[in-house]
Chains A and B, each alone.
Chain A
Amino acid sequence: SVEGDAIKVYVRVRPPSEGTVLTDGDQGLCLSVLSSNTIRLHSKPEPKIFTFDYVANMETTQESVFSSVAKNIVESCMNGYNGTIFAYGQTGSGKTFTMMGPSDSDNFSHSLRGVIPRSFEYLFFLIEREKEKAGSGKSFLCKCSFIEIYNEQIFDLLDSASAGLFLREHIKKGVFVDGAVEQVLSSAAEAYQVLTMGWRNRRVASTSMNRESSRSHAVFTITVESMEKNNEIVNIRSSLLNLVDLAGSERQKDTHTEGLRLKEAGNINRSLSCLGQVITALVDVGNGKQRHICYRDSKLTFLLRDSLGGNAKTCIIANVHPGSRCFGETLSTLNFAQRAKLIKNKAVVNEDTQGNVS
């Protein structure tokens, strides 16, 4: 229907790692890209066709992924919209390559650099252009923060010394991480520097505290604030660009992506703690009656609440590995991506004035 609220979903198929095809033979691939928006999964007995907003095959370049996925979002960010780009997929499906680029040290000038560095470049290019057009009447302020969500706890990647942080809401500023370091940015290169520094913190943490990087979500947020002076009237506009590297999807068994598996009780007394989830599910399917559910969203969905529909632009890049050994994970990623297309911020307005038409 109308362009807007629905989340855009892009699927990218990475090339199999070297040697995989040879060892697996001709039947080594579990999917084929049919067109620029359909993909066929070779499931048995019937193959399954999935349709998305865009499907990038193995040959698609980083530049072309950026143009079709992120360009629009960065542009609407300049127009005052909040934008979010998620990368989703199992470990090894190419999320980091898509978002960051090859795992060398200097990705910023690398020809294979990913969506994030390219978004930085484009954002600052647009800012410069705006500034030139408007002259001294318009100024910009860019700030960024970089946080990690691990085990439902929030850590600041720009301040490795900080302990767990909390999410709060402000009536004017929306959801924010209380106490997160904000760094002012003046160029794309600087943004990239901050990002890599934070990214390194993420890795350090993964060994010293025995965390596995793919078990955490990383959220890099740029705030773009513009100030325009028109005679005596000052017009301030601000928007957010969130770049999110989700934990490997195989680690998310405990969230809503899971299938039918029962929650085990284990041996200790605390064992039945998942009962709450069952009850919540029962209330969830209730019939739109007024109710309150005591269990909160996950930290990630709370933080990105504005990004799911409403007046935000959001896209998900679902990365998949084509190898037939990854069939199960690929199927679940594609199913997730399919569901994501339906996510919308339901603008339910309490409207019950029936009868009041006398």
Chain B
Amino acid sequence: AAAAGGGWAAVCEKFRTARTLSAVESRKDPETEPYRSKYSARALLQEVKQLLSAAEEGGEARLAAVRRAVLEYELGVNHTDTEELSAGEEHLQRCTQLLEPHRLSPDCVSLYIQAQNNLGILWSERDEIKTAQTYLESAEALYNQYMKEDGNPPLDPSEHFMAEEEKLTDQERSKRFEKAYTHTLYYLAQVYQHLEMIEKAAQYCHTTLKRQLEYCGYYPVEWALNAATLSQYYLSKQCFMESRHCLAAASVIFSQAGQVPSAEDNETEQDQQDLRQRKAEIARCWIKYCLNLLQSARKLLEDNIGELDPDRQLELKAQRKKEEDEKEKGRKKAVLFGTSDICDSVLAMEEKVSSVYPLDFQEAREIFLVGQNYVQEAKEFFQVDGYVTDHIEIVQDHSALFKVLAFFEEDYERRCKMHKRRIDMLEPIYADLNPQYYLLISRQLQFELADTYYEMMDLKVAIGNRLEELDSHTIKKINSLAQLAIKYYELFLDSLRNPDKVFPEELEEDVLRPAMVAKFHIARLYGKLITSDSKKQLENMQTSLEYYTFLVDYCEKYPDAARAVETELELSKEMVGLLPTRMERLRAKLCPFI
């Protein structure tokens, strides 16, 4: 330390310049010499290293070692930045070796963790994800051990080359340390994703988001979108409470973004537009939330023909009552976002919609209404003019919301009206849509329209069955609904034809099931048409038979197809056996004298 004096100040100055070159200047390097500043920084670091070894002979060994480790770290990062991985690895390894004995002490722990982070990145660049994982996990373990055993804000690595009066505050130290650890978690999230440890990856994403919030290292819009997207992961796992929490947090944080007055107040039209789009995106995540919650509840409640099972309903209601008492415990287990004030807003947001399965119409309706509100909000931005695909997807979700709500409705007339609402929103869009550019959506709409008419017809039949006798109005209604269902199924099947209007010999895998179901439903619909004209009835039976036969023949020719349509095939076979006899009987009635 004797040789230091003015010398030490110069060393610190060189070190500082090197860091500025590396972090700030290098971004302005010309494309032809992308690493110019990095190379200059490297030269400076080498100089510092030499000055140190000259000055510190006989000095305190531990201090010298730690300072050397800082330099090795900087050199390691410098070399990896310039694509010299092997050299970078050597430096980083030397850094960790020097620190090994002191890694749990406050002046070393942060540096050690950062060195491990960088070794993780380095090995991932060599496509050795497993090796990267070991470094990052050991960094994680070290953080936890340090926090448990010491926990004081540790030194930032740069402080080893600072004069006493420049040293950082505890608050700043802690902020930097926590950030280094957040990076560890963020890299681990990526590692787990690459290793397809999905659940773990999601957990680390969640924690990263949480820490971003805690240490104010986030941009509200970006953060909100990430949280909203994460909610969709939880949806796919049916974790509705977590999903709702992410969405509520996304909405709360997003609303902050709108409130922040922009620095120069010259926000462009484009920025405004972007903000509106993000808001609509989050609304769409909410729609999916409501939809999934309703659909999952439906799955729980339906019997084997897709109707509400009242026994199951009672059973689930009893079960829920029991669970409610334990609810508080479960709540604490979830990872919560935010510190007190944010947390309060998030909780308030959550209260607006349930996260437990709705078990009756009233409960279902409440979730439906929330979903429907978000449909309106999303549509405000995603208008059909300019955002065709998004707009239609939202309308499809709206229709799906009605569909699942109808499941909970016990009154058939009212249920029928809900399906009519679906028709009213889907039909005009379908009519306008150009299938040359929107073939896929066009097919989806055809199929959904067909299905909706089919369902309405079934309902009308059920209503009719309760009557003493079918009145002509009901008959007309049933027939016209059936005809419309047939029309849309046929449109769907026609969309599979090639330009020469020929139906494919063999169906592509992705349209196999829908095409077969369409054929099967058409067959059934012809069977349901009501007519007093026996000749007409015979014709309908004939058509019906042809469609059933198609299914049977097709599966005979392509046995693999049978797996996709097991139930339908079985019933078709039965009908192919039955119908000819019935038709024979009808024919005999028509011409009794033959």
Contacts and interface: CB of A to CB of B under 8 A. Distances in A.
B186 A272 contact: yes
B386 interface: yes
A169 B209 CA distance: 34
Interface string A191-228: 00000000000000000001010000000000000000
A228 B553 CA distance: 40
A351 B514 contact: yes
A54 B429 CA distance: 41
A48 B98 CA distance: 44
B390 to A, nearest CB: 8
A171 B433 contact: yes
A169 B232 contact: no
B235 A357 contact: no
A66 B124 CA distance: 41
A1 B127 contact: no
Interface centre among B397, B400, B498, B510 (most CB of A within 10 A): B510
B469 to A, nearest CB: 22
B228 A294 contact: yes
A278 B434 contact: no
Contacts of A354: 306, 567
A351 B389 contact: no
Interface string B425-451: 000010011111111100110011001
B511 A347 contact: yes
A104 interface: no
Contacts of A161: none
A261 B132 CA distance: 10
5 contacts: A170-B385, A271-B183, A291-B292, A310-B440, A353-B454
Contact of A272 (B132, B182, B196, B278): B182
Given A79-B499, A272-B212, A275-B186, A293 B232 contact: yes
B108 interface: no
Chain A interface mostly: loop
Given A347-B511, A351-B513, A282 B219 contact: no
B222 A168 contact: no
A282 B233 contact: yes
Given A292-B288, A349-B447, A282 B193 contact: yes
Contacts of B168: none
A265 interface: yes
A283 B124 contact: no
A5 interface: yes
Contacts of B438: 171, 174
Given A272-B182, A276-B225, A347-B510, A262 B190 contact: yes
A354 B201 CA distance: 34
A262 B120 contact: yes
A32 to B, nearest CB: 26
A341 B187 CA distance: 32
B229 A347 contact: no
B236 A286 contact: yes
Given A1-B506, A1-B508, A283-B233, A171 B288 contact: no
Interface stretch (B279-287, B544-552, B583-591): B279-287
B375 interface: no
Q: Chain B's interface: helix, strand, loop or mixed, by majority?
A: helix
Contacts of A348: 440, 444, 510
Contact of A282 (B198, B222, B284, B513): B198
A295 B187 CA distance: 20
A356 B193 contact: no
B213 to A, nearest CB: 12
B70 interface: no
Nearest to A302: B389
Interface residues of B, number: 99
Given A171-B388, A310-B439, A311-B436, 16 more contacts: A1-B509, A168-B386, A169-B386, A169-B389, A170-B386, A210-B31, A263-B190, A272-B186, A272-B217, A282-B201, A290-B400, A291-B292, A292-B285, A347-B440, A355-B304, A356-B305
Given A172-B434, A263-B190, A280 B229 contact: yes
B205 A351 contact: no
A306 to B, nearest CB: 5
Contact of A350 (B208, B229, B447, B521): B447
Contacts of B183: 265, 271-272
B209 A290 contact: no
Given A2-B504, A260-B124, A357 B219 contact: no
A289 B232 CA distance: 9
A75 to B, nearest CB: 12
A219 B315 CA distance: 60
Contact of A290 (B187, B295, B385): B295
B439 A282 contact: no
Interface size class on chain A is: 35 or more
B125 interface: yes
B205 A278 contact: yes
Contacts of B284: 292, 294
Interface string B207-244: 01100100001110010011011101101100000000
Contact of B506 (A2, A271, A280): A2
Nearest to A351: B514
A289 B219 contact: no
A294 B282 contact: yes
Contact of B229 (A79, A212, A293): A293
B232 A283 contact: yes
Interface in A223-260: 238-239, 259-260
A269 interface: yes
Contacts of B248: none
A133 interface: no
6 nearest A-B pairs in the assembled complex, by CB-CB distance? A174-B437, A286-B236, A169-B388, A349-B514, A291-B232, A355-B306
B1 interface: no
A336 B583 CA distance: 58
Interface in B556-593: 567-568, 571
A141 interface: no
A175 interface: yes
A315 B508 CA distance: 20
A27 interface: no
Of B233, B235, B429, B498, chain A has the most CB atoms within 10 Å of the CB of B233
Interface string A149-174: 00000000000000000001111111
A338 interface: no
A262 B184 CA distance: 11
Nearest to A267: B23
Contacts of B499: 79-81
B127 A259 contact: yes
**Which one of A269, A294, A344 has the greatest number of beta carbons of chain B within 10 Å?**
A294
A261 B125 contact: yes
A82 interface: yes
A291 B208 CA distance: 22
Contact of B292 (A1, A81, A289): A289
Contact of B437 (A175, A260, A264, A265): A175
B111 interface: no
Interface in B506-565: 506, 508-511, 513-514, 517, 520-521, 524
Nearest to B295: A290
A171 B434 contact: yes
B209 A355 contact: no
Nearest to B238: A289
B212 A292 contact: no
A270 interface: yes
B370 interface: no
A262 B132 contact: yes
Interface in A289-317: 289-295, 306, 310-311
A275 B217 contact: no
B82 to A, nearest CB: 14
A44 interface: no
